[in-house]
Structure 1
Amino acid sequence: MPAKKKTKIQTRERYSRDDIKALKAHSKARTPIAKVAKTMKRTPAALRAKAHQLGIGLGEARRI
């Protein structure tokens, strides 16, 4: 009988003050969302949700 695969438990990592500062800096610099996601090790959807909570735009092609 083959061994069962372990399932990975997903946990939500809190945003530190440094993460929020970096997100605001990327917003101001209009860095593409995919690049920000790689550097911060978060999904683009998570970053968009946090940016929305903070009331800032995110990505290079955003409308004001």
Structure 2
Amino acid sequence: MAKKAKAKTAKKTVKAKAAKTVSKTAGKTAAKTTAKAKTKPKITRREYTKEDVKELRAHSKAKTPVAKIAKLTKRTVGSLRQKALKLGIGLGHQR
């Protein structure tokens, strides 16, 4: 009988430890996701206006680096390259 009681308590302690580990890891992942959500801005799409296109063409003629254009226009490098491709103008090293 004593062996059965020890086995039951051993199982309970193993389950309790596992539950603690799960709750600790769940808390850590929840904290990580909230920290990431605070630092990463939400992406919002903006259409290119006529003024944006004029500015992009001017930068293309002036041979401004794409990274600099991206900072000035607050758009991604990929977005600028795609728009330039559609317009048929060269940007950056691809000229």
TM-score (norm 1): 0.79
2:90 matches 1:62 = no
Using CA pairs under 8 Å that are at least 6 residues apart, name the structure with larger relative contact order, 1 or 2. Answer: 1
Which structure: greater helix fraction? Answer: 2
Q: Distance in 2 between matches of 1:15 and 1:41?
A: 12
Aligned counterpart for 1:41 among listed residues 65, 74, 90: 74
TM-score (norm 2): 0.55
Tell me which amino acid in the other structure corresponds to 2:82.
A
Q: Distance in 2 between matches of 1:56 and 1:44?
A: 15
Give me the CA root mean square deviation: 2.3
Give ranges in structure 2 of 5+ residues lacking alignment: 1-29
Aligned counterpart for 2:86 among listed residues 33, 48, 53: 53
2:19 matches 1:25 = no
**Equivalent residue pairs, number:** 62
Tell me which amino acid in the other structure corresponds to 2:89.
I
